[in-house]
Amino acid sequence: MITYLRYAISPTKNPRTNKEIPEIVKREAEKLFNQCRKYCINEKLKLVLMPIDTKDYKDVMSYINQYSEWASGLIMYEHKFNKKEMEEAKFLLLKSTSLICPEKGTSQMFSRCCDSNKLIGNQEGFFKIRKNDMEKKMITGTSAYRYFISKEIKEKLISDNISNIKFLPVYNMNNDEVLAYQIEAKKLMPLLAEYNKWRVYKGCLKCGKLVYNPIQDYAHPLIIPKEFKAYLSDFNATFEVFTEICSRYYIISKKFIHYCLKQGQKN
């Protein structure tokens, strides 16, 4: 496994203090970007994708610390696994390269946590999409960080006894027709925050509900202790939720993966 930092080496004016970027910060950022140019993935944004076991990574981190007032705070990590690691893994994190945007913003789909009115509540009601959103997709990610599957796949998952999965209808935005199903875990996983050192993103002082920073904020991949293996089914979701939209991470078994591959699903 190789871990990469995804970061824009481009200082910005501090919106709180409205202070201009000092010349020295601009110069240092320019110098650092030139040093890291070999990792550049977007010239305009000065965006780099660099392995974290390098001196360049250490230099970027010290730039961020030294110029924290102007340096971007958006620090994201990605992990790339080789073929052997992928083959040997018993469980994988579900991700999709296809994306659809259901109707309604997050503010309408999610309840407030309590009378403190904080937007860290649960999903209320069902998602709606346009008639042709699913097209020929069998499984897709969504802008709300939930996953939808086609009606055909739902039937097959049921007949193949994929465990711990439940299906919520996704409706046509114009009528009551069911166009797809949202997949969720029946039973959630044991708490993982402590093992993953997840940082609280927002919390409600009144009811104690917490949401965490997303997983890409940490320099390590998702950690599940060995002793939790007994709790894992074919389809699993974290108990903890992340950011305002209370997304979860979905962990799938080899059976689920093979099943999707058998159906010709590439993403």
Residue numbers at the binding site for Zn ion (CB under 5 A): 113-114, 116, 204, 206-207
42 or 116: CB nearest Zn ion = 116
- Closer of 210 and 232 to Zn ion (Cβ): 210
- Reference 178, options 138, 142, 126; nearest CA is 126
Answer for the pair 250, 185: CB distance below 8 angstroms, yes or no: yes
In whole angstroms, how close is the CB of 114 to Zn ion at the nearest point? Answer: 3
Position with the least CB separation from Zn ion? 204
Minimum distance between the CB of residue 249 and Zn ion, rounded to whole angstroms? Answer: 23
Helix (H) or strand (E) holding 185: strand 178-185
Enter the tokens of residue 13: 């004016």
Q: Exposed/middle/buried for 119, CB within 10 Å: 0-12, 13-18, 19+? A: middle
Of 118 and 128, which has the nearer Cβ to Zn ion? 118
CB of 116 to Zn ion, least distance (A): 4
By beta-carbon proximity to Zn ion, the closer residue of 92 and 114 is: 114
In the complex, the smallest distance separating the C-beta of residue 52 from Zn ion, rounded to whole angstroms, is 36
Judged by beta carbon, residue 12 or residue 116, the one nearer Zn ion is: 116
Q: Which is nearer to Zn ion, 40 or 114 (CB)?
A: 114
Q: How far is the CB of 208 from Zn ion (least distance, A)?
A: 7
Token pair of 194, please?
């402590």
Two tokens, residue 33 = 């970007």
Count of CA atoms in the C-beta half-sphere (13 A) of 138: 16
Where residue 38 falls (left for φ over 0; alpha for ψ -120 to 50; beta otherwise) is: alpha
- Report, in Å, the least distance between residue 209 CB and Zn ion: 5
Order of all β-strands in the sheet with 147-149:
99-100, 139-142, 147-149, 178-185, 165-172, 128-129
Give the DSSP H or E segment for 259. helix 254-262
